[in-house]
Structure 1
Amino acid sequence: MASQVHSLAKKVWNYHLLNDQLEKSDCIFVLCSNDIRVAEHAAKLYLDGYAPYIVFSGGVGELTSGMFSGSEAEAFALVAADMGVPKESILIEPQSTNTGENILFTKALLEEKGLDPTTLILVQKPFMERRTYATFMQQWPVKQVMVTSPPISFDEYPNELITYSDVINVMVGDLQRIKEYPVLGYSMPQDIPDDVWQAFESLVELGFNEHLINSQ
């Protein structure tokens, strides 16, 4: 059973990864969460010269309630500053509670600051790369984007904050959202290969249904 779950989960994990090749861009746009490793990855990109500033976007979500002293964006910004990113190169959007709001609220913040980036590097958790891309292209389609995440494998990803089971539940839920959200206007459609969807259905049957948006 364990080997079956692992095989199915790896198939879904690999589907979520876009493996974009990064190029220097106008802006690094970080979709914040409970995973500080995303902030560290974004800070390294800035320090390596990939963009002149970073936007951290995220309020307080279900998974981060009580985790940080303030918003996710403020917590991530502190990590970046501690790693050497100048505070004047950091923008903070501390209100958003979902991916669509991350994009719309950040767009408004940049407009307020007189910034109009043409190319953006989106920084997210590995298993949310594809949905982040699909949502961005629906909400702000005139921009050129690349998506990246901390270079951590599926087997190495679980830690003291997110268990192996948590990872599978969340990425199964994200795959369902990739399929269903385009109909609601939240994101652009993505092709889902038959074997990936079969893996989704098998994992749901095995009990990985905690992050689904409706009962299966």
Structure 2
Amino acid sequence: MRLYRHIETLWDYMQLKHELKPADCLFVMCSNDVRVAEHAAKLYHQKLAPLIVFSGGEGRFTDGLFEKSEAETFAEIAKLSGVPSEAILLETKSTNSGENVRFTEQRLKEEGKQCSSFILVQKPFMERRAIATFEKQWQSPYTQLQVSSAALPFFEYINEDMPLMMVLEALMEDFSRVKSYPEKGFQTEQNIPQQVESSYQALLERFGFDLV
């Protein structure tokens, strides 16, 4: 039970739980979890933005997973959910979160899209890092930045495609990057409460992940 509380503490910290307002663009940072594409389609149908950018080539979890790029795979899922092709823009070269941001900014410029407000769409445990990465890597002016996910509790999020230990290790890796990436210039600094750090250390001691 104590381990469960540590996991939930870390899981909750990584989510920002924004109450969404309409924006110019849904910016989907693609991954190995296709439920993110389904969530983006849901937000589109709620009229939260008229444009969806799907950003992603191949990443650390998708090398060889999909027949096409992450972005193309996610876009196909969105279309099956009723999102029209003309509402979708693809960025298919990025391999990490920083490239998601930089390459998407360039694609919008190439297409002449004037977007100044964004809803980032990610996995639940990537909300905080998505915001921190955008704040550091995006170069153009913007007026509003939000983030959204299918905000499930940890033990409701895991499934056959996203098994417990894979998700837990990914959660731990992403939290470690929240801590270390600001010094490397990749993300903005995030306040980390002591309770969250203590839970991270307890899980690290228990499971001994070799985090990068």
Verify same fold: TM over 0.5: yes
Match of 2:27 in 1: 29
Kept after mapping to 2: 8 A contact 1:56/1:90: yes
Task: Find the counterpart in structure 2 of residue 129 from structure 1.
Answer: 127
| Residue in 2 that maps onto 1:62 | 60
Q: What is the aligned-residue RMSD (CA, Å)?
A: 1.0
Q: Give CA-to-partner distance per residue, 1:51-92, whole Å, 9 cap, x none.
A: 111000001123112221110000000000011100011001
| 1:195 aligned onto 2:195 | yes
8 Å Cα contact 1:33-1:64 kept in structure 2: yes
Which residue does the alignment assign to 1:147?
147
Unaligned runs of 5+ in 2: none
Where 1:77 maps in the other structure, the secondary structure is helix
- Cα distance in 1, alignment partners of residues 61 and 131 from structure 2: 22
In structure 1, the partner of 2:111 is 113
Instruction: Show the counterpart of 1:12.
Output: 10
Q: Return the alpha-carbon distance in structure 1 between the equivalents of residues 208 and 160 of structure 2.
A: 20
Contact 1:25 1:51 in 2 (8 A): yes
Percent identity between matched residues is 46
How many Å apart are 1:207 and its aligned residue? 1.5
Q: CA contact under 8 A between 1:29 and 1:57: conserved in structure 2?
A: yes
Task: State whether structure 2 residue 204 is matched by structure 1 residue 204.
Answer: yes
Name the SS of the counterpart of 1:159 in structure 2. coil
Cα distance in 2 for partners of 1:208, 1:105 equals: 35
| 1:4 positional shift | 2.2
Partners of 1:169 and 1:208 within 8 A in 2: no
**Code of the aligned partner of 1:201:** Q
Q: Does 1:165 align with 2:160?
A: no
What per-residue deviation string (whole Å, max 9, x for no partner) do you get for residues 128-150 of structure 1? 10011011001126322100001
Residues 182 and 80 (structure 1 numbering): CA distance in 2 closer, same or farther, change over 3 Å? same
Shift of 1:209: 1.3
CA distance in 1, matches of 2:64, 2:85: 25
- 1:43-58 correspondence to structure 2 within 5 Å: 43-58=41-56
In the aligned structure 1, how far is the partner of 2:189 from the partner of 2:97? 16
Which residue identity lines up with residue 74 of structure 1 in the other structure?
Answer: E
Secondary structure of the equivalent of 1:203? helix
Give the match's secondary structure for 2:197: helix
SS of alignment partner, residue 169 of structure 2: helix
Match of 2:88 in 1: 90
Q: What is the SS of the residue equivalent to 1:167?
A: helix
Gaps of 5+ in 1: none
**Inter-partner Cα distance in structure 1 for 2:168 and 2:14:** 12
Partners of 1:183 and 1:21 lie apart in 2 by 30
Distance in structure 1 (CA, Å) of the matches to 2:79 and 2:101: 23
Partner SS for 2:180: helix
SS in 2 for 1:206: helix
- Equivalent pairs counted in the alignment come to 210
Residues of 2 paired with 1:80 and 1:112: CA distance? 23
Query: How big is each residue's C-alpha offset from its partner over 1:89-108, in whole Å with a ceiling of 9 and x where there is no partner?
Result: 10010110000000000000
Which segment drifts farther, 155-164 or 122-131? 155-164
Q: Given the superposition, is the C-alpha separation of residues 163 and 111 from structure 1 closer, same or farther in structure 2, using an over 3 Å criterion?
A: same
